[in-house]
Structure formats: C-alpha cells, structure tokens
Amino acid sequence: MESVQVRPAREEDLRSAERASAVLFLEADQSSRRVSEPEIQPRSDAGSKQWIERMRFYLEADPAGCWVAVDESGVEGGGDGGDAGGDGGDGGNVVGFAMSQNRGGVWYLATYGVLTRYQGRGIGRRLMDAVLAHADGRPGLFSSSVHPGATRRYRKAGFLLYPQMRMVGTVDRSTLPAIDGLREGRPEDLEWMDRLDEEIRGAGHGPDHVYMLDRLRLVVSEDLRRPGYAYIDDEENRAVLLAAADPRTAQDLLWEALAASRGETLVNCITTANHWAVDVGLAARLDIGQEGYLALRDMAEPAPYLASGHFL
C-alpha cells in the first residue's frame, strides 16, 4: 500500500500504536484461542497504560530499534474500532509497529504487529527489514505467537522456532518444599545478574533490569557460587523472567514464585532445554500446555532460563 509509510517511531505515535496493538492482538488471540481456553478479554486501561510506559522506555533506551507503519491517506486510525486511534494529527494513524532493542551484542524484538485488515500486504516485512537492519547482524531472540503470518515472517528472516510449553493451574500448596538460600534482590545485584545473562543469552539486560526492579519483586540466590534470580509479578501472579547457573537453583527460584502465587498461576516460555521447570510445575500439580515459540537467531537455546515476553 503506497499510502503506508514505515518510519522510526516517535513519542507522539504511542497512543495510536497502543490502540492498534490492543485491537490487533485481541483479534489475533481470539482467532488462535482453543475452545478449552477462557474467552480472551480486551486489554484493560491499566494494561494500556503499562504498554505505553514500556514503549516509552524502549524509545528512550534504544530509539533506533523502534519503528511504526503509518497510513498517510488519513482514511485509517490506529484501531479497527470507531473510537480507536483518532488522535487528530498527533500520530493517530499507526497501523503497524515493530519495537526492538539492542542490548550489547544481542538484539530482541519486544512487540510486532500490523492491524488485521492491513496484514498480508508486505507491511510486516518492511517493518521486520527495518528492525533487522538495526540489529546489524547481532544474534537475536523473541517470543513468537502462533499467528501464521508471524511464524512465516520469522522463519523466512532466518530465525529457528523453538516450541514453548507453559504450565497452568492452581498450586497444590501441600507440595511446596521448604526453600532456603534465597533473599530479596537489590540494585547492587544487577551487576552479577548481567554477567549471568551474558553467559546464558549473550548479553546482560542492562537498563531492562532497572526497569523491572522498579516494578517487580526480585528474588536472588544468597550464594553467588550458584547464582540465579527471578522477577515475580505479584499483580499477574507469576514469575516473568528467571535465570540461573544450574537447574537446582532455577527450581528453587521457581518454587519461590509458585509459593507466592494465589489462585490460578502460569509458568510460560518453557523451551525443551528447560524441562527442570516442567518437573517443578508437575510436582505443584499444574498442567502442561503449549504456547508459541521462542525464536532464536545465531544463539543456543538459553537454559536454565525462562525468558520474559517483554525483555527476553
């Protein structure tokens, strides 16, 4: 579509990009939902606010990795619904986006989407070309949906797709073991955590750690001869990123996250090299399911590791 331009993202695009993201992921999740799974709910106001806040952070940390597709014809707003996007000349015409970041020698894709009725016309490829040019040949990773356009695009861009499992359910609290050797994390821990990241996935999370530490609970190993850490999102009731030097430490950290959960919980982004997490989930009486892929380029499967969907 000639009226659609792909250009670097700006702060004033974020509201419209958020509307586009909320609408297109709702539609994509609805179309890939299995009948046994609960209905997909629209993104909440708090979720929209968090999305914009996170994109603003990416724009500050590595702006050249953030791209949008905008429809210059003025026909379309940043959403499929009538109220979406109409921001009146302040970037209200976003129809697609690809937000990626370089962290040291590693590149990751944080989020990527094109409005449903704009899909299949090459806009996704143009966005992907832009963010891969920014990667400049770095090894890369991201969490992929099962959307046929997405998986096709990723494989054709040279990524290997590692199927991911997830564990869902309510923890049987009688199974919780006594865990010692863990403590709450502090800003001073970020240095060794970055070194651990480097060993496991090629680069530290750097500023992403600072962002997460501000918003999530951090639990770390006391004994730095067997380092490991996990971020626990108390609102979402689950661990959102876990890294450890050995599977036993990883299992202790995951048990800690499961002990903190109340009601239905989720352990996701489990690739086959991370069956230590499946074993913990099964012991806690959670069920195994499948969920998308970890897409990797020029990188071994990270382990023991549960990637963060947002910061990989």
Ligand X SMILES: CC(C)(COP(=O)(O)OP(=O)(O)OC[C@H]1O[C@@H](n2cnc3c(N)ncnc32)[C@H](O)[C@@H]1OP(=O)(O)O)[C@@H](O)C(=O)NCCC(=O)NCCS
Q: Based on CB atoms, which residue is closest to ligand X, 124 or 206?
A: 124
Segment interacting with ligand X (CB under 6 A) among 20-28, 72-80, 81-89, 228-236: 20-28
Size of interface with ligand X, in residues (CB under 6 A) = 21
Distance (Å, whole) CA 166 – CA 178: 24
CB of 96 to ligand X, least distance (A): 6
124 binds ligand X (CB under 6 A): yes
110 binds ligand X (CB under 6 A): no
CB of 100 to ligand X, least distance (A): 12
Query: 169 - beta bridge partners?
Result: 265
CB of 98 to ligand X, least distance (A): 8
CB of 66 to ligand X, least distance (A): 15
CB of 31 to ligand X, least distance (A): 8
Q: What is the residue-wise DSSP string for the chain?
A: -TTEEEEE--GGGHHHHHHHHHHHHHHHHHHH--TTSPPPPPPPHHHHHHHHHHHHHHHHH-GGGEEEEEETTSS--SSSSTTSS--SSSSTTEEEEEEEEEETTEEEEEEEEE-GGGTTSSHHHHHHHHHHHHHTT--EEEEE---HHHHHHHHHTT-EEEEEEEEEEE--GGGPPP--SEEE--GGGHHHHHHHHHHHHSS--THHHHHHHHHSEEEEES-TTS-EEEEEETTTTEEEEEEESSHHHHHHHHHHHHHH--SEEEEEEE-GGGHHHHHHHHHTTPEEEEEEEEEEES-PPP-SEE--TTT-
Enumerate residues 198-237 that contact ligand X by CB under 6 A: none
Work out which of 7, 33, 121, 215 binds ligand X, going by CB under 6 A. Answer: 121
CB of 112 to ligand X, least distance (A): 5
Sketch the per residue contact string, 26 through 45, with ligand X: x for CB under 6 A, - otherwise: --x-----------------
Q: Based on CB atoms, which residue is closest to ligand X, 54 or 244?
A: 54
Q: Based on CB atoms, which residue is closest to ligand X, 14 or 232?
A: 14
Q: Based on CB atoms, which residue is closest to ligand X, 62 or 80?
A: 80
Longest CA–CA separation in the chain, Å: 61
CB of 27 to ligand X, least distance (A): 8
Sketch the per residue contact string, 133 through 172, with ligand X: x for CB under 6 A, - otherwise: -----------xx-xxxx-xx-------------------
294 binds ligand X (CB under 6 A): no
- Which residues are near ligand X by CB under 6 A? 24-25, 28, 112-114, 119-125, 144-145, 147-150, 152-153
